[in-house]
Structure 1
């Protein structure tokens, strides 16, 4: 497949673009048909419901097969679970990494994330920008803490391997954020952060989970726009633009042969003096295979044109383009092997994210013992589960618990009150009975998932993990 494409088409395959709206905009259609766009990424603004997003993804793939290359698109989403859930739909709610890591049960984690991947695949996605495999080294940043499996590198390593195996049964997996991320509490859209740790510390903490991810066969790594002086002495070059980091260290020392994807290049524009085109050229020369540009049409065009011009001028070699396209091509062959099966949606995930998992995840915010947890009980007439036993366990662990009991026919005032409460609680636990068959429960879970810092849904109607 490498040789039948023109080099301009190979450059197009190295681009992954986002867009606004729930329909394919004209500029994305043109880019697919004229320049063989390699991938797209969807965000909440692109998604209204299951039927719509499945149709949207199908139309995107139809366009790809109408292009001169007739090569399928990578269609990505960032569905980590917990606080990062770009598909805000009750049928796809899953615990965050912190809750999964707290179980210390790799079998459950692999099984749960395999089901999440299966449901995403059923909607037409073939890549998930997950899992986060960074160690939680900043206990003061609660949101980042929820996205990490643990503060212990060994736990993160084992959970990362389980997550990669689970997601990888149906999707391309993307471990992030390489080479590290959680040691700061600032936004790199405002200025370029730095992880200024000694080499020995980086190897022991930040880098260890990525080595495990590579060993586990992860398809891709997402690279940060963060400065790492221990890896790159030039403080004008974040990891995403450094050949020492991407080629010298990641490729040559760690032996990674998968895809290197930049974190969104647009984000870094606000913090540095490089243009979009210059960053695109620098990232590819450093070793990146795919440039992720989420939103702006002008910047997407600028990046593509700059890379084309750099190839024409000899600044980027044909060999460098072929190296990346070989990796893109290999990943897309794996997508074809996964096939286009019809997959069921919905019920399985509720059967797994239940009492058996949650009883091992009650320390999901153990570092913040004393913080309030909101426990919402909506069990109807069911007597299959005793919420008071869970509350007793939480309280004995050091948490304060606010319990809210709702009938299946709650009022609008009840809904508004709970959504307001969930917004300001570090963890909300929702106890349900056959939520997947009750529209009132599904609606409330959907609304709470949009505002909750971390939401865990426990369906009490099925306790058997082996079903």
Structure 2
């Protein structure tokens, strides 16, 4: 309500031509406000009035002695305001309640929280610094940022937050402003400051414009000395002062005066502007018409303390026109000196009462006329909310900036043509960046202490991502490249195509002598976890780069430089609330996961949930086996069994149909001539894919190679060593005769057809499809799927024959086979028939992890488009995701499983749309995608461990129960 009143007053004032004369401290009920102010001031003694001028430092991490000191200041000297410094929110809230109870007039609580309460307090939320926010083009996000800070302050009993910084930082060497500024563009700084102010003050927390009249072009830190600005008034008006009248027009409630020496404004060079009547009264109040509350900057800073004694400084600050003395160093001495000045006439009673009335009016503005203690319950949770992270992600995403992009290197396309390395420079970690890069494709981290060795290691790569990582601890940390890093960067760029991603102030680029050999330059501004993760996503086109450089980098990159990149529609990685899912409800999956482990339904598993193209739940549980030695990692590979049908065979059938190599109306004899004159020769591809071709479910080929009595493998079919006659590796040290492949197809060809037509799930059709596809394209299914799909998708952890590419430590074992291969199956396909074909079949054989399965399913959801590349036509996806025999009670589409038609069947949770599709696998795999809810769900496990008799996962419908929990987590939009 207060915000709406301000908007009305400001609009009215603008229309009437005197916006700067609007009093920002007036509330909607200003008559009641005035009455309250009068009633309070009329009861105050002189000492109590003087006490209102002080805002002293209070800490929540100090000993009892400090707390006693604050209590004395309140009770004995009637100090009316506190600024809280370091500590914790719980202790600050407790102390605030204690101190407020001691004060006759409620205390105005101040706080220095430019990027959030984290600036001073532990265990509170940290948003990006202003320099990062300065790159954002959507100021609505800045207003939301201000609103969130306002909520946090309000919740903790803070009434004035000393933000925003409105200094125009045009001096890269500025030691104290820098990252705290929105940048060097005065218009951008002003617009950001206004948006922030409107957001924060809408929550009933006063904003504060600092540091008046402008600290952006200084090379001295006023904490240690008095900075000098030798600019004339015209220059000050055009740059330093530019934001102030505009933020005043927008209704900002307070201003902080800086400790600066500006001869053109104050002839006495030794007198800080904060103590100058010419500046505080003449310029700020009379010329610019500011009627709000005026704070000094901290009076403990050397820029002020070097001028006179603490008491003299405080008196001069009040005489200059300031209302509140921030962090005074001698309250007793100042009180005595102010009383003396009032007695001698050096300070008038009217001057004192003017400030006291403004302070009381401000206290009414923030609601202290109806003060209530801070509620301590749930404080921590309410200061660190999911909504805060949702906004933080939006802010980071909108800030990331590409300032050079020669050859459109960013976003990274055509992954099948890339061999990518990541090199870390800087003195801070880049783990989150490196890990996120790995989600998109194989990116090797390369390092060495020797440049020549490093360059040698980089030879196989055709793209190098150089991440420059500097400490994100606070905005004053060094952002510079070392001389060695500059040399290494240039040498790498001289030999390789390079993307330089800077996780530090954009001013770090000033050290780079030449950008000629660096193809792409990205500024990510801070080395936070979110900046690293989101920047990695943007590099691969999962989201766009949209920021604009808030400062100039010599003549190389002008302020405002920034290329908007393409969105390639790759998966993003975010949090549930970013896509209208409930974190709390999704967390119930963890309970089901624990049940799986407790009941030993599987030793371990991976679960992934994505919505609207965002992976929001990705966890691995348990161990590879019951030995509990190797924990399951998100990168580990599982045997996905029948998911092979929709992840390998089906996309190749779809491509073949597009390439006019296979028609859905074609019969088996058309696509595989050796099946002519068989009992299957007229079965169509459409029937086969719909499991309506009357084929048997499966044939136990392996049993036909065993002794019928002992069950032992017959010598005529197997050897323990590989040879020309026995080249087919079915397991470790077990090789099958090469002639047996023909036998498999002979058995399929001669197998009896089911007498009755109707639905019957069968693997046999996919043996046929594999052979047909390989015949049409003259390449193996494993080679085809990798070339046509996996490489381009960045599904580098999806493969047949995984032991050729990965170590056993990265592959989860399946079963302790006691019936055929008589060993732990580790890296070898579980399905016996697929094993007898050498590990590559149309119905089984594929290994993958949940992340890669999600990429393929997301490609289907996006109608064949992913990563800036069209893999399949939209019409093709629609054609195959359709039931053709629904009237025959067949729920299946073409290859895709579909939701059940019979409620007694539990193919899904029964709560997904009819447009949804997916598949399950014998080893405990399951994946499903729903175009209506835009949800992709992946579950991978080795539920067949220790043996396939372990059917708890299936019997208790665990996978579809998790699917139900996902659906119930969807929030109303």
TM-score of the pair, normalised by structure 2: 0.38
Is 1:330 aligned to 2:361, yes or no?
yes
Residue number in structure 2 paired with 1:357: 395
Residue number in structure 1 paired with 2:243: 209
Residue number in structure 2 paired with 1:305: 336
Cα drift, residue 152 of structure 1: 0.2
Against the structure 1 CA distance between its residues 142 and 263, is the aligned structure 2 distance closer, same or farther, given a 3 Å change threshold?
closer
Equivalence map 1:11-160=2 (5 Å):
11-19=50-58, 21=62, 25-44=67-86, 47=87, 49-64=88-103, 70-81=104-115, 85-89=119-123, 91-141=124-174, 144-160=177-193
CA distance in 1 between counterparts of 2:576 and 2:157 reads 29
Check the 8 A contact 1:57/1:124 in 2, yes or no.
yes
CA distance in 2 between counterparts of 1:290 and 1:148 reads 24
Residues 389-408 of structure 1: CA distance to partner in whole angstroms, max 9, x if unpaired? 9xxxxxxxx9941589xxxx
Q: Which of 48, 65, 71 is the aligned partner of 1:9? A: 48
CA distance in 2 between counterparts of 1:163 and 1:83 reads 15
CA distance in 2 between counterparts of 1:72 and 1:305 reads 23
Is 1:463 aligned to 2:496, yes or no?
no
4+ residue runs over 6 A deviation:
none
Cα drift, residue 285 of structure 1: 0.8
Against the structure 1 CA distance between its residues 155 and 423, is the aligned structure 2 distance closer, same or farther, given a 3 Å change threshold?
closer
Against the structure 1 CA distance between its residues 269 and 188, is the aligned structure 2 distance closer, same or farther, given a 3 Å change threshold?
closer
Equivalence map 1:158-307=2 (5 Å):
158-168=191-201, 169-268=203-302, 272-293=306-327, 296=329, 299-307=330-338
CA distance in 1 between counterparts of 2:343 and 2:98 reads 33
Report which of the two structures shows the higher radius of gyration computed on alpha carbons: 2
Q: Which of 401, 423, 439 is the aligned partner of 2:467? A: 401
Q: SS of the residue aligned with 1:4?
A: coil
CA distance in 2 between counterparts of 1:283 and 1:143 reads 23
Relative to structure 2, which stretch is displaced further, 333-342 or 3-12?
Answer: 333-342
Cα drift, residue 176 of structure 1: 0.5
CA distance in 2 between counterparts of 1:206 and 1:29 reads 40
Cα drift, residue 269 of structure 1: 6.9
Against the structure 1 CA distance between its residues 271 and 464, is the aligned structure 2 distance closer, same or farther, given a 3 Å change threshold?
same
CA distance in 2 between counterparts of 1:431 and 1:143 reads 25
Q: Which of 344, 350, 362 is the aligned partner of 1:319? A: 350
CA distance in 2 between counterparts of 1:206 and 1:423 reads 25
Against the structure 1 CA distance between its residues 55 and 204, is the aligned structure 2 distance closer, same or farther, given a 3 Å change threshold?
same
Is 1:377 aligned to 2:476, yes or no?
no
CA distance in 1 between counterparts of 2:171 and 2:133 reads 19
CA distance in 2 between counterparts of 1:388 and 1:339 reads 58
Check the 8 A contact 1:7/1:321 in 2, yes or no.
no
Cα drift, residue 205 of structure 1: 0.8
Residue number in structure 2 paired with 1:446: none
Against the structure 1 CA distance between its residues 162 and 375, is the aligned structure 2 distance closer, same or farther, given a 3 Å change threshold?
farther
CA distance in 2 between counterparts of 1:178 and 1:224 reads 5
Residue number in structure 1 paired with 2:530: 431
Check the 8 A contact 1:82/1:147 in 2, yes or no.
no
CA distance in 2 between counterparts of 1:26 and 1:237 reads 35
Cα drift, residue 258 of structure 1: 0.8
Check the 8 A contact 1:222/1:263 in 2, yes or no.
yes
Check the 8 A contact 1:39/1:76 in 2, yes or no.
yes
Check the 8 A contact 2:220/2:226 in 1, yes or no.
no
Against the structure 1 CA distance between its residues 2 and 387, is the aligned structure 2 distance closer, same or farther, given a 3 Å change threshold?
farther
Higher share in helix: 1
Q: SS of the residue aligned with 1:187?
A: coil
TM-score of the pair, normalised by structure 1: 0.77
Q: Any gaps of 5 or more consecutive residues in structure 2?
A: 1-39, 405-423, 444-463, 480-503, 505-525, 533-572, 581-971
Check the 8 A contact 1:120/1:126 in 2, yes or no.
yes
Residues 320-364 of structure 1: CA distance to partner in whole angstroms, max 9, x if unpaired? 00111111011000111797586833112112111x322221249
CA distance in 2 between counterparts of 1:364 and 1:31 reads 53
Residues 121-171 of structure 1: CA distance to partner in whole angstroms, max 9, x if unpaired? 212211111110101111134762210011100000100101111221231
